[in-house]
Amino acid sequence: MSGKAYLVGSGPGSLGLLTLRAREVIDAADVVLYDQLPGEEILSTLPAGAELIDCGKYGSNHTLEQHEIEDLMVARVREGKTVVRLKGGDPFLFGRGGEEVEVLREHGIAVEIVPGITSAIAVPECVGIPVTHRKYASQVTILTGHEDPTKPESALNWELLARSAGTLVILMGVKNLPEIASALVEGGKDPATPVAVIERGMRPDQRVTVGTLATIVGQCREAGVRPPAVIVIGGVVNLYDGSLPAE
- Indicate which residues carry an active-site annotation: 35, 57, 172
Q: How far is the CB of 151 from ligand SAH (least distance, A)?
A: 19
Distance CA 205, CA 182 (A): 29
> Interface with ligand SAH by CB under 6 A: which range of 43-51, 88-96, 217-225, 234-242?
88-96
What residues form DSSP beta bridges with 89?
11
Please tell me whether residue 230 binds ligand SAH under the rule CB under 6 A: yes
Cis-peptide, bond into residue 124, ω within 30° of zero: no
Among 87, 64, 93, which Cα is nearest to 13's? 87
Residue closer to ligand SAH, measured from CB, 3 or 95? 95
Helix (H, G, I), strand (E, B) or coil at 229: strand
Residue closer to ligand SAH, measured from CB, 140 or 230? 230
Distance CA 183, CA 172 (A): 16
Please tell me whether residue 217 binds ligand SAH under the rule CB under 6 A: no
> Interface with ligand SAH by CB under 6 A: which range of 41-49, 69-77, 85-93, 212-220?
85-93
Q: How far is the CB of 109 from ligand SAH (least distance, A)?
A: 21
Among 130, 98, 108, 87, which Cα is nearest to 1's? 108
Q: How far is the CB of 10 from ligand SAH (least distance, A)?
A: 9
For the purposes of burial, counting CB atoms within 10 Å of the CB of 153, is it exposed (0-12), middle (13-18) or buried (19 or more)? Answer: exposed
Instruction: Annotate each residue in 161-200 with x if it binds ligand SAH (CB under 6 A) or - if it does not, as one string.
Output: ----------xx-------------------------x-x
How, if at all, do strands 31-34 and 51-54 pair? parallel
Using CB under 6 A as the criterion, which residues of the chain lie in contact with ligand SAH when the complex forms? 12-13, 37, 87-90, 93-95, 118-120, 123, 171-172, 198, 200-202, 227-230
